Amino acid sequence: MDELRYVGFWARVVAALVDTVVVLVPLVPLLYLVYGSTYFTTAAAQLRDALQGIIPAADAPSPGQNDWLVSLAVLAAICIPFWLRKQATPGKMLIGARVVDARTGGPISARQAVIRVLGYFVSTIPLGLGLLWVGIDKRKQGWHDKLAGTLVVRRR
């Protein structure tokens, strides 16, 4: 693993932005099919009202009760096959990075891939602290990486 170097915070932000677009391409039409157009108009109205101080964001009703399940399913359906076949999502491929097993430096297992996807939610829920952790961790691991036993690396 000496020939590998950890990928830092800002490079991973770039990769994540690319991957977000990749995930949104199937996710937005799927949410539309499941919830209809009111899903998007309700969410936009809630955001507007919260920003204007009309209603606290925490008190606003959710436009879709299980939209997080739909989002998780789409995220898993895209990320897991990419990690297992290519060791990287499209965004990570763009920056020349790959996801590897933290102990061996080799490909990750299906179990690690599933834990990593679920770990994104753990990393995101407390104000994104688990994602920001990449910026301060000596091995540049977010909480999702720590939970799954993975690293994001490039060749030296």
In a domain, 39, yes or no: no
What rounded mean pLDDT belongs to the chain?
88
**Per-residue model confidence (pLDDT) at position 53:** 66
Quick check: is 120 in a domain? yes
- Residue 55: its pLDDT value, please? 56
Q: Is residue 12 part of a domain?
A: yes
- The reply to whether 106 falls in a domain is yes
Three-class SS state of 153: strand
Predicted local confidence at residue 33, as pLDDT: 85
131-136: Cβ within 8 A, 24+ apart: 132/9, 134/8, 134/9, 134/12, 135/8, 135/9
Instruction: Indicate whether 52 belongs to any domain.
Output: no
pLDDT tens track for 5-63 = 999 999 999 999 999 999 999 999 988 888 777 777 776 776 676 667 665 555 544 55
Per the structure, the count of domains in the chain is 1
| Domain assignment of residue 61, yes or no | no
Q: Which residue range is the domain that position 10 belongs to?
A: 4-23+66-155
pLDDT band at residue 155, thresholds of 50, 70 and 90? confident
